Amino acid sequence: MSTPVQQPKVGAVIITMGNRPQELRALLDSVAKQDGDPVEVVVVGNGAPVPDVPPGVRTIELPENLGIPGGRNVGIEAFGPGGTDVDILLFLDDDGLLAHTDTARLCREAFAADPALGIISFRIADPDTGVTQRRHVPRLRASDPMRSSRVTTFLGGANAVRTKVLEQVGGLPDEFFYAHEETDLAWRALNAGWMIDYRADMVLYHPTTAPSRHAVYHRMVARNRVWLARRNLPALLVPVYLGVWLLLTLARRPSRPALKAWFGGFKEGWTSPCGPRRPMSWRTVWRLTRLGRPPVI
């Protein structure tokens, strides 16, 4: 009698502020309906109590809000050091919903078929219209969200990560709190030789919202953009990358209060500690360029 092939173990990390109990329950139900072996779930209350969850779902309640990367890192460690008690970790926004029951199976198949694949970015679609916003397609050529491709970053609340990546390069940068933490991890993973795929057939339903709804958006985006460059780019590329983003920001003509907050964050990014500096190799710069997004844009 042949021995059955063991499926890669899949876990899921969901952080919540406790203010979306119905959406969280719907998301957990969609995870529970995934084909194949059950997905083990950890819900992290980020400075807030966790609403009622189904039996079998583990919960962790943090006494303070550690931010998105900090909360997700706590969830990772709940699966052992670097999440290594499982093979794959899904990271899902608490107001999202897995659109299909085959997402976990497709993740298992994708990682098994490509040993170099480290991260998968799902397609985010509005639950009512089915529309995917351009900003949710993690590449420059974003006009066709139905086209899957290799990419250079991923979407924070709709992705799957091979836990060997986290074991090798570490988790998300706690210091960032909010904004650009995914790109920091993506660049470190790419520098270590891993690849990232955007998969249009793996769908998370999520209401259409503007990231600027967060009060700290403009400051955090600017500060963390500087930190991202200081931590990861060769010294020659740091001023080029930040100069391009300064010009792009001005071209978008933000409001005066938004621009004031942005420049405050930009200054903070230069004057505050950004964590360890581990610049990527020029070989990685070339890989990013070949993938369509050189690290100056």
d(CA 32, CA 42): 12
Q: What is the pLDDT of residues 137-187, one digit of tens each?
A: 999 989 999 999 999 999 999 999 999 999 999 999 999 999 999 999 999
Cβ(124)–Cβ(136) below 8 Å:
yes
Is residue 230 assigned to a domain? Answer: yes
**Full residue range of the structural domain in which residue 261 is found:** 212-290
CATH of the domain at 101: 3.90.550.60
Q: How many CB atoms lie within 10 A of CB 268?
A: 16
Give pLDDT, residue 216.
82
Question: Do 45 and 191 belong to one domain?
Answer: yes
Residue finishing a domain among 193, 209, 225: 209
Give pLDDT, residue 208.
84
Question: Do 47 and 179 belong to one domain?
Answer: yes
Low-confidence ranges of the chain (pLDDT < 50): none
Give pLDDT, residue 5.
66
Q: What distance, in Å, lies between the first and last C-alpha atoms of the chain? A: 56
Question: Do 266 and 156 belong to one domain?
Answer: no
Question: What is the domain count for the chain?
Answer: 2
Question: Do 224 and 194 belong to one domain?
Answer: no
d(CA 247, CA 265): 16
Instruction: State pTM to two decimals.
Output: 0.95
DSSP 25-53: HHHHHHHHT-SSSPPEEEEEESSSPPPP-
Residue finishing a domain among 209, 225, 249: 209
- Alpha-carbon separation of residue 154 from 64, 74, 199, 265 (angstroms): 27, 20, 10, 23
Question: Do 273 and 197 belong to one domain?
Answer: no
